[in-house]
Each structure stands twice: as C-alpha cells, then as structure tokens.
Amino acid sequence: MEGARRRKKLIGRPKGIKKETLERYHFAFHLYENKNIPIDKACKQAGISKTSFYRVEKTIKKK
C-alpha cells in the first residue's frame, strides 16, 4: 500500500454517488413529487432502494 501511495494510486472504494444511482434518485423523486406515489413504490419503480434514496437525498442536501 505504501508503494501505491507513493505512485499516487487511489486505494479503496470511490467516494461519491454513481451517476446511475443519481439518475434513479431523480426519477423516484419525480414520481414521488408529481404523481403523489408513496416513496416506497416510487423507489421500486425507479429500481433504487429506500436506503439509497435517502442516502442520496442527504448527500445532495449537504452540498
């Protein structure tokens, strides 16, 4: 690991939200806001878990 750091290689899991997850969040949020669908059904239709939905929402609001 020390050699990787000297070569400035990234080690470990990448930080941040994947583009695909962000797109699914926006779709679920759209369904929830505009079509008055409960959040669990909106997440299911968008293909994202409720946990991921709230994690992305927390990250977005933090910025």
pLDDT at residue 16, rounded to an integer? 83
Residue 25 lies in a domain: yes
| pTM: predicted TM-score of the whole model, two decimal places | 0.76
Look up the domain containing 44 and give its range.
16-62
Total domains present in the chain = 1
On whether residue 6 sits in a domain, the answer given is no
Residue 2, in any domain of the structure: no
CB pairs under 8 A, 24+ apart, for 20-23? 21/48, 21/52, 21/56, 22/56
Has residue 57 been placed in a domain?
yes
2-61: per-residue pLDDT in tens?
A: 777 788 777 777 788 899 999 999 999 999 999 989 999 999 999 999 999 999 999 998
